[in-house]
Amino acid sequence: MNITIICIGNELLSGKTINTNATWLGKTINSIGHYVHKQIVIPDDRSIIKDTLSGLMMNKEIDGCFIITGGLGPTHDDVTRKSIFEFFGSKEKFDIKYWEDLNNRFKQNNIEIPLSNKSQALIPDNGDVIDNPIGSARGYKFNKGRITTFSLPGVPSEMKAMTEASIIPWLKQKSEKKIHEMTIRTTGIPESVLMEEISSVLRDNQGCEIGFYPSLFGVDIQLSSKIKKRTAELGENISNILGHNIFGYNKDSMAQIVVKMAMKKNLSFSFAESCTGGLLGHRITEVPGSSDIFKGGAVVYSDDAKISVLGVDKRCIKKHGAVSKETAKIMAEKVRSIFKSDYGVSVTGIAGPGGGTKKKPVGLVYVALSNNKGTKVEKLNFSHDRKKNKLRTGQVVLNLMRLEMMNV
């Protein structure tokens, strides 16, 4: 089935909001054997919404369903509901029971419900209502000719929950054959090098669609095929070549892998963070169960904090600087001692965009890992982009932890 995704919102067109809904819907739809024919972004404008739907309906090449996201909130600029009702010739009915339920929900949070929320209790007389398990804005389903149209709120978490509960089961019933997918998650290897490494297994027709998706955290390789065996075989061949450059599969995150490995090996960690400002601790504690392996951390951004909180000798900082392998080494050892963890991990660097010198440029980062066998220090060099430097540093540190635990 061909699917058209229509995203509504002035904030999407202006660039103030990133359109993650279209990305998620595209991946999800493709994974269950359907095809996204077109993606359209339009403003919160009644005439444009109706003209867009009319034009798509008249196109004989389009057959299947439309999925609309956005514009179902209670604010004055959310005009999708009224536009869609008018397009499908639907009269509005007031759902008194739902309005009472909304009132009770707001009261439980000690909030007086705004009258503007009444619009969310309006339902069509010739369409179906799609329940929202985590929000107040419900969705709608209409049938017209050969096209089924779903309209969902634009809040990503609500859109995903409603799609998974209502639309995916409907689409699966329409699927001729399931698409089998595998995502191989790599880090620490540039895309060009990765391509060369696995070129030998890509020369022959593997019967798979192959996509490469680079990011700050590494390169994801996505394989898909209607034949499960082909996806599995190609995935195994690539895995055998790339080895430890692969940190996980499908939805695995680096933090999840690190926590899982530490739990399995009964190892604990503590962090001393300077330039990452608590990012490592945040990423680890996002994972359920991390309390079993994460002892604690210290954000020691200033020299004084490194001295007073960790006990780094001020003579070391004066002689070598806060951003140095010597300071990083002591930071890791001190935090390990303070929290009595198996590993002490430290990060100190110049995130940018200012603060660098010829000897110590912006993007210079030192990372240290300390355990009862000694302390290892790694020197990293990144760019002048502060945010990217922090994110890349976090990924490199977690990967160093992963590689270190592989040898335990």
Neighbours of 165 (CB within 10 A): 14
- Selection from 250, 235, 226 nearest residue 33 by Cα: 226
With contact defined as beta carbons under 8 Å apart, do 328 and 377 qualify? yes
pLDDT of res. 63: 77
CA nearest neighbour of 178 among 30, 294, 368, 25: 30
Q: Which amino acid is at 365?
A: V
Helix axes 228-242, 191-202, angle to 10 degrees: 130
267 SS3 class = coil
Separation of alpha carbons 100 and 105, rounded Å: 9
Q: How confident is the model at residue 117 (pLDDT cuts 50, 70, 90)?
A: confident
Separation of alpha carbons 39 and 241, rounded Å: 36
Q: What is the pLDDT of residue 31?
A: 80
Domains of the chain: 2-174 (3.40.980.10), 180-249 (3.30.70.2860), 254-406 (3.90.950.20)
Helix %, strand %, coil % of the chain (to 5): 45, 25, 30
Mean pLDDT over residues 178-204, rounded? 89
pLDDT score of 282: 97
Give me the mean pLDDT over the 290-303 stretch.
97
- Total residues belonging to the chain: 408
Does position 205 have pLDDT exceeding 70, yes or no?
A: no
The whole-number pLDDT of residue 250 equals: 93
- 3-state SS track over 165-178: HHHHHHHHHHCCCC
2-6, 206-210, 403-407: least confident range: 206-210
Arithmetic mean of pLDDT, 298-306: 97
Tell me the average pLDDT across 80-101.
93
SS3 of residue 8 by DSSP: strand
32 three-state secondary structure: coil
pLDDT confidence of residue 75: 67
Instruction: Please state, in angstroms and rounded to a whole number, the distance separating the CA atoms of residues 33 and 180.
Output: 9
Return the pLDDT at 76.
Answer: 61
Q: State the DSSP code for 164.
A: I
Report pLDDT digits (tens) over 12-54.
999 999 999 999 999 899 888 888 989 999 999 999 999 999 9
**In whole numbers, what is the pLDDT of the chain averaged over residues?**
92
402 φ, ψ (degrees, to nearest 5): -60, -50
pLDDT over threshold 70, residue 77: no
Q: Using CA of residue 40, residue 210, residue 163, residue 12, what is the dihedral sign?
A: negative
Quick one: average pLDDT of 110-137? 90
What pLDDT score was predicted for residue 262?
97
Structure tokens at 197: 């490494």
The position carrying tokens 């190892």 is 267
Tell me the Ramachandran region of residue 139: left when phi exceeds 0, alpha when psi lies from -120 to 50, beta otherwise. Answer: beta
Share of the chain above pLDDT 90, in %: 76
DSSP reduced 3-state for 358: coil
Nearest to 392 by CA among 368, 367, 375: 367
Tens of pLDDT, residue by residue over 216-264, are: 999 999 998 888 899 999 999 999 999 999 999 999 999 999 999 999 9
Interval 168-188 mean pLDDT:
87
Banded model confidence at residue 186, pLDDT cuts 50, 70, 90: very high
Residue 105: predicted pLDDT? 86
- Which helix H or strand E contains 386, and what residues bound it? helix 386-406
What confidence tens digit (pLDDT) does each residue in 321-336 have?
999 999 999 999 999 9
pLDDT at 284 over 90: yes
Torsion of CA 296, 366, 396, 277, to 10 degrees: 50
What is the Cα–Cα distance from 48 to 302, expressed in whole angstroms?
54
Inform me whether the pLDDT recorded for 408 exceeds 80. Answer: no
Calculate mean pLDDT across residues 357-364.
92
